[in-house]
Amino acid sequence: MIELQDIHKRYGKPNSAPEQVVTALDGISLSVKAGEVFGIIGHSGAGKSTLLRVLNLLERPDSGSLRVAGQDLLSLNDAQLRSARQRIGMIFQHFNLLGSRTVAENVAWPLRIANWPTEQIAPRVNELLARVGLADQGHKYPAQLSGGQKQRVGIARALATGPELLLCDEATSALDPQTTRAILDLLAQLNRELGLAIVLITHEMDVVRRICDRVAVLEAGKVVEIGAVAEVFLHPQHVVTRRFVQEAEKIDENDLNEDYAHVPGRLLRLTFQGERTYEPLLGEVARRSGIDFGILHGRIDRIKSTPYGQLTIAVTGGDLAGAQALLAERGVRVEVLR
Ligand SMILES: Nc1ncnc2c1ncn2[C@@H]1O[C@H](COP(=O)(O)OP(=O)(O)OP(=O)(O)O)[C@@H](O)[C@H]1O
Ligand SMILES: [Mg+2]
């Protein structure tokens, strides 16, 4: 669906002083498959919005190559680009609705621009509004809607021309946690039912964990980590990624290290994934290897629809190597922390 290679984008006039030039994208390569939900996470200024806007050429890169939905966007003329953009929808943090137009007129807007026959527009708008849970709200004005409802209008408008790809720029950042979940669930449903590929940018790992299949971590215009969400979330490699995960888990590694300083024994971190998460493995391993263990920290949650658990335990006595082997045999990832 998307194939980016070595994309660079600088802001600043060609002959301005080096300190006035901002390198927003510094050699980005990545690909997104059809039907995939792909997250891009990064701090403020990392280049997320710039990258998203490159994907529909609202922003032209200085160099690099860019294929979206089977087309080399950089080679298209204006008319071709307009038609290519009908296959790429976009939603925004602040919804970007036209306040002087009704909900129905907002959703109809891209259809009018695409010269749809007038008699087909109203039925299409009704279908779209029903899909996003706003049937019979078409007569209202944006100011009469809640933030969550406004974003639903934004989504209906983005889907109007039947795109294969939806770009989301911090689409839930202006919403409360409950509304955020509802909108993310709607996006996940559209992904499943329409096979819509979604690229969403965010600064919250929770958003990534809830609906993304893969994620790229952006820092200073570069991809510093990329992979399946479960892998990146459970085994973050880069310091920036680790900080995002710790924020999402509301833990502070330094605090924990201090807390554990006085705990005797070896410290292990165990990671369970899938249905295994709910099995009574630890008790069995302790009995068979004669170890004693205390649980220092733990959580059980889901990444998209896959359950996972991560436990930090202190182990004393018994056959530690044997216990590690038994755990590994059962598909539990074991890391020795101390
Ligand atoms: N039109 C522009 N002109 C000049 N500099 C820009 C422009 N747009 C972005 N930048 C700069 O490029 C860098 C990346 O900006 P970008 O908006 O892509 O970051 P972001 O990751 O989306 O941040 P945020 O989370 O705050 O939205 C920043 O240093 C920003 O100041
Ligand atoms: Mg941004």
Per-residue pLDDT tens digits for 199-229: 999 999 999 999 999 999 999 999 999 999 9
Joined together, the tokens standing for residue 184 give: 């993310």
CB 131 within 8 A of CB 79: no
Q: Given its phi and psi angles, is residue 12 left (phi above 0), alpha (psi -120 to 50 degrees) or beta?
A: left
Q: pLDDT (tens digit, 9 = 90+) per residue, 52-71?
A: 999 999 999 999 999 998 89
Does residue 280 have a pLDDT over 80? Answer: yes
Does residue 260 have a pLDDT over 90? Answer: no
Instruction: Indicate where the chain has its CATH 3.30.70.260 domain(s).
Output: 260-336
Does residue 36 have a pLDDT over 80? Answer: yes
What average pLDDT score do residues 282-310 get?
90
77-79-83 Cα angle (round to 5):
115
Radius of gyration of the chain (CA): 24
Using the Cα atoms of residue 6, residue 49, residue 153 and residue 85 in order, give the sign of their dihedral: negative
Joined together, the tokens standing for residue 280 give: 């009574």
Nearest to 41 by CA among 152, 154, 173: 173
With cut-offs at 50, 70 and 90, classify the pLDDT of residue 304.
Answer: confident
CATH number of 260-336: 3.30.70.260
DSSP-derived letter for residue 134 is -
Quickly tell me which residue has 């990329």 as its tokens: 226
Provide CB contacts within 8 A for 94, sequence distance 6+.
174
Select from 22, 62, 167, 199 the residue to mutate for testing ligand 1; criterion: most ligand atoms less than 8 Å from CB.
22
Nearest to 212 by CA among 156, 262, 250, 172: 172
The structure's pTM equals 0.90
Is there an atom of ligand 1 within 6 Å of 44 CB? Answer: yes
Is domain 2-248 classified as CATH 3.40.50.300?
yes
Is there an atom of ligand 1 within 6 Å of 11 CB? Answer: yes
Quickly tell me which residue has 């888990």 as its tokens: 249
CB 291 within 8 A of CB 297: no
Q: pLDDT (tens digit, 9 = 90+) per residue, 174-207?
A: 999 999 999 999 999 999 999 999 999 999 999 9
Is there an atom of ligand 1 within 6 Å of 49 CB? Answer: yes
Does residue 9 have a pLDDT over 80? Answer: yes
Joined together, the tokens standing for residue 264 give: 């005797």
The number of the ligand 1 atom at minimal distance from the alpha carbon of 52 is: 18
User: Which bound ligand lies closest to the C-alpha atom of 46?
Assistant: 1
Number of H-type helices and E-type strands within the chain: 12, 14
Q: Pairing mode, if any, of strands 165-169 and 197-202?
A: parallel
Span from the CA of 1 to the centroid of ligand 2 (angstroms) = 22
Provide CB contacts within 8 A for 262, sequence distance 6+.
none
Q: pLDDT (tens digit, 9 = 90+) per residue, 122-158?
A: 999 999 999 999 998 999 999 999 999 999 999 999 9
Q: What's residue 69's pLDDT?
A: 87
CB 241 within 8 A of CB 39: no
Is there an atom of ligand 1 within 6 Å of 47 CB? Answer: yes
Does residue 251 have a pLDDT over 80? Answer: no
Mean pLDDT across the chain, nearest whole number?
A: 93
The number of the ligand 1 atom at minimal distance from the alpha carbon of 49 is: 22
Does residue 92 have a pLDDT over 80? Answer: yes
First to last CA, the chain: 44
205 vs 103: CA distance, rounded Å: 31
Q: What's residue 254's pLDDT?
A: 74
Name the percent of the chain lying above pLDDT 70: 100
Which residues does residue 38 pair with via DSSP β-bridges, in sequence order?
199, 214
Q: What's residue 256's pLDDT?
A: 74
Instruction: Indicate where the chain has its CATH 3.40.50.300 domain(s).
Output: 2-248
Q: What's residue 224's pLDDT?
A: 98
